[in-house]
Amino acid sequence: MDTEPLAITPETRLAALGIDLPAAAPSPIGSFRNVRRAGNMIYVSGQGPVRADGTLIRGKVGSEISAEEAREHARLVALNILTALRDSLGSLDRVAGVVKLLGMVNAEPDFERHPYVIDGASNLLAQVFGEAGAHARSAFGVGSLPNRISVEIEAIFEMAGPAADQSR
C-alpha cells in the first residue's frame, strides 16, 4: 500500500511539537493592528507575554524575573505572534519564513543577557518554520515596557507563494 508522506509545513510541525496556539491573539492595547501586510511582507506588531486567559506577565528582568524565566516569557510571546499570524492569514502554511525579530527586554540597567532571553522566541520559530525560521534579529534592554510586561517582540515574515519567490 503506497502512502504519501505528510508535507512538513509550519502547521504540521506545530502539531508534531504538541503545541496548541491560543484561540485568539491578544487584542492591541492602542490604535494599531496586530498584523499588517505590505506586498509579500507581513509585519506583526509588538506582542507581549500574555497568557491564554489574558493575564499579563509583568516585571523587571534581572531583579524580579530571572533570565531563564524571561526566556520562557519570550517563547510565550512567539506563540502569541504565531496566533496573530494565523488569525490574520488563516494558516501558518501561508508564511514562507521569518525575516526579522526585534526583541525588547524590560531589564535592570546592568542586565546583559538580552540575546539569551529573546532566544526563547527565536528557538520556537526555528522549530515551527525549520530552515525558513532562521532570521535576522535585534535584542536589547529597555527601561520600561507597556503595562510593565517583561518582554515585547515584533516580527516580520515573508508570505509564501509565487510573488514571494521573486523577492529573494
Residue 60 lies inside a defined structural domain of this protein: yes
Structural domains in the chain (count): 1
Query: Which CATH number do you get for residue 139?
Result: 3.30.1330.40
Please give the distance of CA 135 from its chain centroid, rounded to a whole number. Answer: 12
In a domain, 89, yes or no: yes
Residue 108 structural domain:
35-166
Is 25 contained in some domain? Answer: no
10 located within any domain: no
Evaluate whether residue 20 is within a structural domain: no
Order of strands across the sheet with 95-106?
Answer: 35-38, 41-47, 151-159, 95-106, 136-142
Comparing CA positions, the residue from 29, 30, 121 lying closest to residue 81 is: 121
Domain assignment present for 55: yes
In the block, which residue shows the cell 521569518?
A: 98
In a domain? residue 105: yes
pLDDT tens digits for the chain (168 residues)? 455 555 799 999 999 999 999 888 888 888 889 999 999 999 999 999 999 888 999 999 999 999 999 999 999 999 999 999 999 999 999 999 999 999 999 999 999 999 999 999 999 999 999 999 999 999 999 999 999 999 999 999 999 875 544 433
